[in-house]
A and B are shown apart, each in its own frame.
Chain A
Amino acid sequence: MLRFYRWLLYLYPSLYRREYADEMIPVFRDAQADVSDGSFKERISFRVRETWGLLAGAVHEHIRIISGSYQLISFTRFNMRPEFRFPRSTVFLMSIIFAGVILAMEKANTIQVKYGAGSGSIWPSLPWFLGLTLLFTCATVMVVWGILFGLGRTGAHRLANIQPGPNRTN
């Protein structure tokens, strides 16, 4: 598990890793030693918690670096700046969900008109639809993750912070 943990730490931006990885590994090792005598359920719960914590943390750190400031994207109410009481990401997600619901209603209406009431059911195709949606979502998340990770590795986000040097006159 320690090897897996170290591997997961590589998902973090290098700056963050340099700053905190040396501390996180011993803390993880101590916490793992605590649950090593626990029940099977406790050990599984610990592993899931640690894996999820690192994955979520890594995504959050990458987005924070790419966006340049964590004021732009706020996942939770942890953001302690008083000017953002309603995260913009929530508005964006709510708009997507709303559009999805409207589209689904429109689609259902079209199917009903086409086949007539009671002549068939759309439910047999539902598992396929859900499966494909899930696959599409996973693929999208992976692509976005890849782009963010790639940009983080190139250090392109740091270009905005470069200060122009003094003009040299010969």
Chain B
Amino acid sequence: MEPLPLTEPVLLVLLSLAEQPRHGYSILKDVERMSGGRVKLSTGTLYGALRRLLDDAWIERIEEDESPRDRRPYRLTSRGRRNLQLEVERMRHLTKLAALRIARKEA
């Protein structure tokens, strides 16, 4: 399945989880850090995105006995990782194309 272009917040959430499993607050801070403070997610937006990603099986909850209910970590599924790779590939192609076009215009 070829994924649609993702919004920047969703892409950042997925990238955050690509590195390691994280819980909500950790995702929030990591997204802010990755975007240089430009993208600040609200909790409503974050959990809306997490719910949809869970529904689409792009991410999953890690059910650990020792983790409290309010600190449940999430991780990427293999499907989510594959779609994220496709999205990054699409962006890489676009960036390469843009660089070529700009260079051609300048020359």
Residues of A within 8 A of B (CB): 16, 19-20, 22-28, 30-31, 49-50, 52-58, 60-61, 70, 76-82, 85
Residues of B within 8 A of A (CB): 1-7, 10, 23-25, 28, 40-52, 56, 58, 69-72, 83
Instruction: Knowing A23-B69, A50-B42, A82-B3 are in contact, say whether A30-B25 is a contact too (CB < 8 A).
Output: yes
Contacts of A80 in B (CB 8 A): 3-4, 6, 52, 56, 58, 83
Contacts of B4 in A (CB 8 A): 77, 79-82, 85
CA distance A93 to B5 in the complex (A): 22
Q: Is the interface of A mostly helix, strand, loop or mixed?
A: helix
Q: Is the interface of B mostly helix, strand, loop or mixed?
A: helix
| Total cross-chain contacts (CB, 8 A) | 86
Contacts of B42 in A (CB 8 A): 49-50, 52-54
- Nearest to A54 among chain B residues (CB) is B44
A78 touches B69 (CB 8 A): no
A60 touches B25 (CB 8 A): no
Partner of B43, one of A31, A60, A78, A85: A31
Contacts of A54 in B (CB 8 A): 42-44
CA distance A56 to B48 in the complex (A): 10
- Given contact pairs A24-B24, A57-B48, a sample of 4 additional A-B residue pairs in the complex whose CB atoms are under 8 Å apart: A27-B25, A61-B48, A78-B7, A78-B52
Contacts of B40 in A (CB 8 A): 49
CA distance A77 to B10 in the complex (A): 11
CA distance A76 to B52 in the complex (A): 13
- Nearest to A55 among chain B residues (CB) is B44
Contacts of A85 in B (CB 8 A): 4
CA distance A19 to B69 in the complex (A): 10
